[in-house]
Structure 1
Amino acid sequence: MDDVDRALEAALRELLARRAPSATVCPSEAARRVSGDPDDGDAWRPLMEPARAAARRLVAAGEVEITQRGRVVDPETAVGPIRVRRAGC
């Protein structure tokens, strides 16, 4: 795990902490936050898969769940858009 991976995990945690307990976030929100380049509207796109990987690590740690259409899904097999929420919500 490198600094970007740790920053993405931290960003997911921070985003969730600022929301209602049952609220979700998109991994793209963490990617945008970590990319830190407001002048490049697409700078965050290369961080999407690392952001999804960060979410999977947080699932493995028991901190979050990954959902699709409001249902918890297996993070290893989820394809398409996902959302992240605190575990147990």
Structure 2
Amino acid sequence: MTAPKPTDVQLRDALLGKAQACRPGTTFCPSEVARSLAADWRPLMEPLRDTARELAREGRLRVTQKGESLDLGVPWRGPIRLSLA
């Protein structure tokens, strides 16, 4: 039996909770959140990235790649890092 898929609210809460738990100025990978939510975490990566984009548009998270803020209006490729905005 497989575990139920986390809801959008659970994804938001998990991302914000992780961001708030980090030391100021530090970032985290969304895979850290995915791993905390499910043993089979890889299918959660795209929904988490979508949720991170929404939270960034709301001004709650900052999304970076190689230390630079990412454009929220274009598709992202490669690893991203998240932090409180």
Quickly name the TM-score band, shorter chain normalised: 0.7 to 0.9
Q: Which residue, out of 63, 66, 82, partners 1:66?
A: 63
Map of 2:78 onto structure 1? 80
CA contact (8 A) 1:58 1:64 kept: yes
Name stretches of at least 5 consecutive residues in structure 1 with no aligned partner.
38-42
Q: CA deviation at 1:3?
A: 5.2
Q: What is the match of residue 49 of structure 1?
A: 46
Deviation at 1:75, TM superposition (A): 3.1
2:9 to 2, 6, 21: 6
- Amino acid across the alignment from 2:84: R
TM-score (norm 1): 0.80
Q: 2:22 aligns with which of 19, 23, 42?
A: 19
Hey, which bits of structure 1, 4+ residues long, moved more than 3 A?
none
Count of residues paired in the alignment: 80
1:2-32 Cα deviation digits (max 9, x unpaired): 9522111111111111111111111111111
Letter in 2 for 1:86: L
* % identity of equivalent residues: 41
Checking the alignment, whether the CA contact within 8 Å between 2:26 and 2:83 is kept in structure 1 is: yes
